[in-house]
Chains A and B, each alone.
Chain A
């Protein structure tokens, strides 16, 4: 009797589960349609004729006017863009290595349960998320460190983000203590536990950190606009922003020169977005496999 019951229930479960799966799939497809549109719009606009784009209304599912590469030609002959790529790549590679190293180091220590100063240091760090000195003393500090007009001004002041540190620490804390204990019994030092056990087990959160920090660096423009006065050091995003908000005159006083300042074609703006966005978008698929279920468990067994 009990056996038959179980089987019966199984069938029932799988039936309702199948219905759920069906709805789930439909919902996710709808979600994709809704969220993919802005990207489609941007891409289509970038292949549009600048003038035809001006008169376009409604959904843009195909380039306005005849599809053209003109906007991309304009973007790639722009000297700022290539230099921007170079600068952003430099900051990205150097910055992200330092950030992952420093953040994981801090997260490891602060996730140890038997570390006496754990809570005070956490407080010390969290406090900075809310109270800062403001832009002036920060600028003066960077100046005193001789980093003005230097790409390292976009790296060194940002090697740890308190927010990311907290996320990483939460993830490290979820690793079973038993692993640490047994390693200790084998005489492993904290350095060894950090490097050989915790880090290899945390691929998923490291992937998240790579994304968070990477995207942060890629999209950052504010500090670059403050610290850099040499245009050949400008990161890509600053160049993009300059193009995006040019002619977005919204008051007469700014518009005084509006009489004759160059109008950057809409299509060029969109082409610049594409050129400045696609590289960072393409990282994700590579990191995705670390989000697959069981990555961590597999690592423990292996």
Chain B
């Protein structure tokens, strides 16, 4: 009798809860129901802890970019075994919609403007939506999850409880939770950019890995004189000027853009005395022919060509898309061995203050939202929370047990389906079964990068060396400006950056003499840098108070 009542209640629930697609599957078999929902939920809301997957059949539309890892293999996410498994595990039926990769912005803005939103979507609201998540909530675009998080997303909620520092990164200034973020579950997953040199040349010349700017100077000079390098140091020009990631500017104790000084106050790097030192150094390098003469125009292809033909011996870049390519192009050639080295410093033994390091929750790639168009927010939350549960993490990171991975001594080990697939590259196979090699609403685990991320041992070493850094202390946190402020900021910074970039080139190339540095600083002040700092200070204050 008791059993019957429970079953009855299950049925009532199954038919009364209307999903976002508003379609309840009528053909549902009782086995499915009783087998799935073991602890029968009652209408009493306090028994939520007893919830287990899969849940009632629900339908959602889900808008996301299909990244290059997978978009050359399938035309819709639903064709990937990962989606089938996720659907089975959660019970939610997903209709995927995909914009063209790298071009999602326009489509997203228009969906918002036309009020025609999908139930769930992945997008970079933090950076691309004017005013950020706070504004997106008040505009009625996304749902405020704060009040429901504990109840309907217990796994994510628990994560936030366990990691209050990270929780701060996932909230708005007024303390609202707004998304199911992509979380990098280990520090080794956050570092993937830094300086690279040709280790074979170092070996030939009897040099150690360079650590200080002076050692870099010596190394580059010897590359030029003894290895015949015509452009000893080359890199894609934008990499020099990219915020916290730039190793050479960072050597002088500043970031090129905004950063926190020892007192925790916001500074603008490009007007500091350290920046003048950097310009002097690079000017010397340029005059001495250590820096690529074409440094402002080289692109990715040319940097790769120069490095792999001995024109250059040092550069900087991403671990996979740059370093990996250079290594692959020179496999079996004894003249090359590209290795990552520590971010340079001024004084030997210092720990670099700046380097590229992502935060665990950067709120950009893979941030997943529930829109106001969704009719069953609770069920959608349940569905998205899966990626933070133990089972869900395994599925998102490793795929299907017995198919794409096996547990060996408690260690999820990828099978040959992933690593030696006859039809697919490793990247593609991985993306077919899991989402760990890009991003999504889940916690990324380090076992993924341990087995897959380091195609070459040099990359693993690079990751370790690049990780030596105090950047956590000095990095500017991801703060949000109000919509009005962000427009003002964009205007001020566009003028300043145009000027700064122009002057930087002139100083490095010696077109402009560094005597005029004070005037340059004054000009940037006149363009309103103090106002920009003020806006950031206010935003930082709000961030701290989250």
Real binding pair: yes
> In this assembly, does B453 line the interface, its C-beta being within 8 Å of a C-beta of chain A?
yes
Whether the Cβ atoms of A135 and B110 lie closer than 8 Å is: yes
Which of B99, B113, B319 has a CB less than 8 Å from the CB of A139? B113
Nearest chain B residue, comparing its CB with the CB of A83: B75
Name the B residues within 8 Å of A263 (CB-CB): 320-321, 324-325
Whether the Cβ atoms of B101 and A242 lie closer than 8 Å is: yes
A229 to B74, CA, bound (A): 15
Highest count of chain B CB atoms <10 Å: which of A221, A242, A255, A257: A257
Name the A residues within 8 Å of B103 (CB-CB): 225, 241-242
Cβ distance A164 to chain B, nearest Cβ, rounded Å: 25
A258 to B439, CA, bound (A): 11
A79 to B74, CA, bound (A): 7
Whether the Cβ atoms of B97 and A229 lie closer than 8 Å is: yes
Highest count of chain A CB atoms <10 Å: which of B103, B308, B452: B103
Name the B residues within 8 Å of A230 (CB-CB): 76, 97-98
Residues in A49-98 with C-beta less than 8 Å from chain B: 51-52, 54-57, 74, 78-80, 83
Whether the Cβ atoms of B76 and A57 lie closer than 8 Å is: no
Whether the Cβ atoms of A226 and B106 lie closer than 8 Å is: yes
Q: How large is the interface on B (under 10, 10 to 19, 20 to 34, 35 or more residues)?
A: 35 or more
Interface string of B214-241 (1 = CB under 8 A from A): 0000000000000000000000101000
Nearest chain B residue, comparing its CB with the CB of A249: B321
Whether the Cβ atoms of A139 and B242 lie closer than 8 Å is: no
> In this assembly, does A136 line the interface, its C-beta being within 8 Å of a C-beta of chain B?
yes
Cβ distance B473 to chain A, nearest Cβ, rounded Å: 19
How many interface residues does A have (CB within 8 Å)?
A: 51
Given A238-B100, A259-B319, A259-B320, answer yes or no on A136-B113 (Cβ-Cβ < 8 Å).
yes
Whether the Cβ atoms of A231 and B365 lie closer than 8 Å is: no
Which of A143, A247, A251, A256 has a CB less than 8 Å from the CB of B68? A247
Which of A55, A135, A261, A266 has a CB less than 8 Å from the CB of B321? A261
> In this assembly, does B72 line the interface, its C-beta being within 8 Å of a C-beta of chain A?
yes
Given A80-B72, A143-B114, A225-B106, answer yes or no on A260-B101 (Cβ-Cβ < 8 Å).
no
Name the A residues within 8 Å of B319 (CB-CB): 259
Given A55-B329, A135-B106, A229-B99, answer yes or no on A262-B114 (Cβ-Cβ < 8 Å).
no
> In this assembly, does B304 line the interface, its C-beta being within 8 Å of a C-beta of chain A?
yes
Whether the Cβ atoms of A255 and B68 lie closer than 8 Å is: no
Whether the Cβ atoms of B300 and A248 lie closer than 8 Å is: yes
Nearest chain B residue, comparing its CB with the CB of A234: B100
> In this assembly, does A246 line the interface, its C-beta being within 8 Å of a C-beta of chain B?
yes
> In this assembly, does A128 line the interface, its C-beta being within 8 Å of a C-beta of chain B?
no
A143 to B110, CA, bound (A): 10
Cβ distance B71 to chain A, nearest Cβ, rounded Å: 7
Cβ distance A288 to chain B, nearest Cβ, rounded Å: 34
Name the B residues within 8 Å of A266 (CB-CB): 301
Cβ distance A63 to chain B, nearest Cβ, rounded Å: 16
A53 to B305, CA, bound (A): 8
Cβ-closest 10 pairs across A and B: A259-B192, A229-B97, A262-B427, A55-B308, A54-B329, A246-B68, A231-B75, A258-B318, A262-B69, A252-B242
Can you give 12 A-B contacts (C-beta < 8 A)?
Answer: A51-B328, A55-B308, A78-B72, A79-B75, A231-B71, A232-B75, A242-B71, A252-B242, A253-B127, A261-B69, A262-B425, A263-B320
Chain B residues with CB under 8 Å of chain A are 63, 66-69, 71-76, 97-103, 106-107, 110, 113-114, 116, 127, 189, 192-193, 236, 238, 242-245, 300-301, 304-306, 308-309, 318-321, 324-326, 328-331, 356, 358, 362, 364-365, 425, 427-428, 431, 437-439, 449, 452-453
Seed contacts A51-B328, A139-B113, A261-B69; 10 additional CB < 8 Å A-B pairs? A54-B301, A55-B329, A57-B305, A78-B72, A230-B76, A230-B98, A246-B68, A249-B321, A260-B438, A262-B68
